[in-house]
Structure formats: structure tokens, C-alpha cells
Amino acid sequence: MVRTLMIIPRLTVQTVFLALGQIWANKVRSMLTTLGIIIGVASIIAVVAALTGLRASVLSEFEKFGARKVFIDGRVPRELRNRINFRDVQLTLAELDAVEEHCPSIEKLTPMMMMAKSAEAGDTKLDGVQTTGIWPTWHDIEGRAVLIGRPFNEIDERERRDVCLVNEKLIEDLGLDRDPTTQTIRLSDRVFTIVGVVETVTFNIFGSGESNAEIFIPLATAMRLNPNGWINFAWAQMRRPDQAQDAIAEISTVMRKVRGLEGATPNTFEVRVIQQFIDGFNRVAGAVTAGAGGVVGISLLVGGIGIMNIMLVSVSERTREIGLRKAVGARPSVVLLQFLVEAVTLCLVGGAVGIALGQLMVLGIRNIPGADLGRAVAPAWVIVLSVGFSAATGIVFGMFPALKAARLDPIEALRHE
């Protein structure tokens, strides 16, 4: 036993070199044999790297939204779907006032009333421009810079002034001056004075990667412009990012009270924080990883059967050699080890090729136009896992051929033709 342990390291090194030599001598055969492992490893690396890149993009998008933001909207619960209409559950100004007043964790909020309007300036007309009614608090909550001019203020809201903020994209599309303040545009045949320009933001993940022309008007103005419209949702801002649980509880309590929902009646609204979106994404990413893991499992199984087959061929081709090795003193355990090491080496070479191929695929993924996966990278754990699984495949599927070799009778093996 001690003897076996003593010669294992030396024998392993020798066997690894021997195996590498054989793999090199039979390049094509080895490649085909380990194809399952190569494909399995390459695909898990590519999938995990893509997900890592996607996660990085998504998280930074979420960060753009802001960690303190709370999303509130009206929603028809499943149970009441036949009895009430989505119009019945839309947020009202009274409800939002109550939330603002009675929720200590909420610092400020803004309703968001979204419409598609035709915008005209001079002879140019744009249809379906996204026009959003907001409170002045929107500036603090969204944090979008006002590049030129001024933000909205309380007076704009109180007096329902016909003023608007536009983004750079709209300036471009409507052919306005570089500094359009004091210029006017017509929205639904009303004339609005541009008071400021807000920066354009692009949402790569949820949008097309392109930015849209946007117009913002005071909420009160929007309600007058669109008397039958409704508040689509509201953004609230917590005082601190760690108050998510409190904020959700407080808003829910206030909303239920205002809406007179009692006992087991389900919420007719929804309160969400960014963390929930992140959790949701992580769940999806986890499911995709698990799915990819399944595919990889199957290809490793196929690869393993290939390995077993080639090792059985190797054992039968080298029966005389095995007989000789036994005749000069190789114990069964040593022969077993030798063939296991050979199988593992083969698998590890396949795994290494798979990792290299996977990294190439990652380079490709990074450069897929419009996919925003520039941060795709195979994390260390997936590489370690790939190496581990390759080695495990070698051990599991190399065991039977290795046992066969170890059990050969030296005399019979030497007589083998």
C-alpha cells in the first residue's frame, strides 16, 4: 500500500506524458472521441459568459433606474379579473397624495401619464411622440440632467402652463435649434413653449438600443390635454435604498386603506422595487444556466461513452503491452491507475480544447452587434467546473476499461495476438 502511494506521483507523470503522446499521435481520433466533451465545455462556457455579460448590462440598466426607486401601478388581481376593469384600478392623484403624506420612508413621488402625441414645429410633423405628464419631483427621482434651460417647477404645475421639456432626439427629429428654449411646438393643436432640454437615455436591454424622441409636460397640463387619460404608474423615491421592505409595506397599507380593501381582498395595485426586478432576472438567468447545464450533462454523457469506447479499444490493442507490464511487476492497482490517468488526460485535453473554443465563442458573443454583451466573460468558477467535470467524466467512463485492463491475466495477455 505504502509502496503504491510512493510510486503513484512518478507513475502518474509518466502516464500523463505517455497519454499525451498517444493523443498527439492520433490527433483526429482523439478529437472525435472527445467531441462531446469539447462541445459540452465550450457551450457551458459560452452560455455562462453570455449570461454574465447580460447580467452586467441588466444590472447597470437597473442602476440607471436607481436603487431608491419604487414603482407603483394599478393592477387587476387575477381573482377579480371578471368583475373589474383595468380602468377601475388606475392610480388617482388623491391616492398618490395619501402615499406621499402617510409613508415615512417615501421622500417624494411623481405620477407618470404617458401619451402618444403628434408634435409639429414649422412644417415638420412627427406622429406618435411619447409625451409624458410629470411632476417637478420627476427631476430628482429620474436624475436626468437638464442640459439647456430649466427644469419644471411648482408654478408650471399649479398654473397648468403649456410648457414642455424635450430631449435631444426630439430636437434632431423636429429640426429645432440647438438651443430650442423659447421656441414653440404644437401638440394636439396647442402651442407649447420649450423651457429646457433633458438628456437622452438609451435602454439597451428593454429597448432596441435606440433612443426615442420624448416630450415632458406638467402633469396638470397633461390631464387637461387628455381628459379621458389616466395615470399609467408612479415613481416614488425612498429616503434610503435599504428601506425597500418598509416602503412596500407602508405603500400597501396606505393604498389598501384609501381603496377600502379589507380582509382577504387582494391588492388592486402593485408596488415593486428594483431589487425585485433584479431577483426576477436572476431567477431567469438561473433557469437558463440550469437548462444549459442539462445540455452539457447530455454532451458529457455522450462524450463519456466515446471515451469508454476508445479506452476499451486501447485496452484491447495493448493487451500484450499490459501483459508485459504485469509480467515485470505492475500491480493491478497500478495498471488501473495508468488507464484511469490516460482516460482523465484525454478528457482534460478535450476539456482544454473546449475551454479554448468557449473563449473564442465568448469573443464572438462580445461582438454581436446590438446585443450589448461587451462584458461577456467566462467566470473562474465555470472554468474550474469544466475542468472538474471533464476529469470526472474520465474517471467514471474510464473505470470500466481500466478495471478490464487491471484484471487481465498476465499469461493470457501475453499470448494475445
Partner 1 sequence: MTIEIHQLEKIYRVGEERVHALRGVDLVIQRNEFVAIMGASGSGKSTLMNVLGCLDSPTRGRYVLNGRATHKMGAAALARVRNEEIGFVFQSFELLPRASALKNVMLPLIYSRFNWLEARKRAKRALERVGLADRIGHRPNQLSGGQRQRVAIARALVNTPSILLADEPTGNLDTATTREIIELFRQLHAEGQTIVMVTHEEEVADAALRIVRLRDGMVTSDHPTRRDPTHAAFLQNAARMAAEAAGEALPAGAE
325 binds partner 1 (CB under 8 A): yes
Smallest distance from the beta carbon of 334 to partner 1, in angstroms?
6
Query: Interface with partner 1 by CB under 8 A: which range of 3-11, 83-91, 158-166, 355-363?
Result: 3-11
Smallest distance from the beta carbon of 377 to partner 1, in angstroms?
41
Smallest distance from the beta carbon of 403 to partner 1, in angstroms?
13
Query: Interface with partner 1 by CB under 8 A: which range of 119-127, 224-232, 320-328, 356-364?
Result: 320-328
CA distance 414 to 417: 8
Burial class of residue 405 (count of CB atoms within 10 Å of its CB; 0-12, 13-18, 19+)? buried
CB 66 within 8 A of CB 143: yes
Single residue of 302, 392, 410, 416 touching partner 1 by CB under 8 A:
410
317 binds partner 1 (CB under 8 A): no
CB atoms within 10 A of CB 158: 10
CA distance 380 to 45: 10
CA distance 217 to 236: 18
Single residue of 122, 280, 332, 379 touching partner 1 by CB under 8 A:
332
Single residue of 227, 263, 329, 370 touching partner 1 by CB under 8 A:
329
32 binds partner 1 (CB under 8 A): no
Residue whose C-alpha cell reads 506524458 in the numeric block: 17
Burial class of residue 44 (count of CB atoms within 10 Å of its CB; 0-12, 13-18, 19+)? buried
Is residue 31 helix, strand or coil? helix
404 binds partner 1 (CB under 8 A): no
For residue 119, the number of C-alpha atoms closer than 13 Å in the C-beta half-sphere is 29
Of the pair 108, 318, the CB lying nearest partner 1 is at: 318
10 binds partner 1 (CB under 8 A): yes
Within 8 A by CB and 6+ apart from 36, the residues are 299, 300, 301, 302, 303, 304, 305, 306
Single residue of 324, 371, 387, 391 touching partner 1 by CB under 8 A:
324
Is residue 305 helix, strand or coil? helix
Single residue of 173, 246, 270, 321 touching partner 1 by CB under 8 A:
321
| Backbone torsions φ then ψ of 74, nearest 5 degrees | -80, 145
Query: Interface with partner 1 by CB under 8 A: which range of 37-45, 94-102, 321-329, 357-365?
Result: 321-329
Single residue of 7, 93, 302, 312 touching partner 1 by CB under 8 A:
7
Smallest distance from the beta carbon of 401 to partner 1, in angstroms?
19
Within 8 A by CB and 6+ apart from 142, the residues are 66, 235
Query: Interface with partner 1 by CB under 8 A: which range of 49-57, 99-107, 171-179, 324-332?
Result: 324-332
Of the pair 219, 330, the CB lying nearest partner 1 is at: 330
Tell me the CA distances in angstroms from 285 to 51, 133, 201, 369, 385, one per residue in order: 7, 35, 25, 21, 18
326 binds partner 1 (CB under 8 A): yes
Query: Interface with partner 1 by CB under 8 A: which range of 115-123, 298-306, 385-393, 407-415?
Result: 407-415
Smallest distance from the beta carbon of 205 to partner 1, in angstroms?
58
Smallest distance from the beta carbon of 56 to partner 1, in angstroms?
49
Residues that bind partner 1 (CB under 8 A): 3, 6-7, 10-11, 14, 320-321, 324-334, 410-411, 414
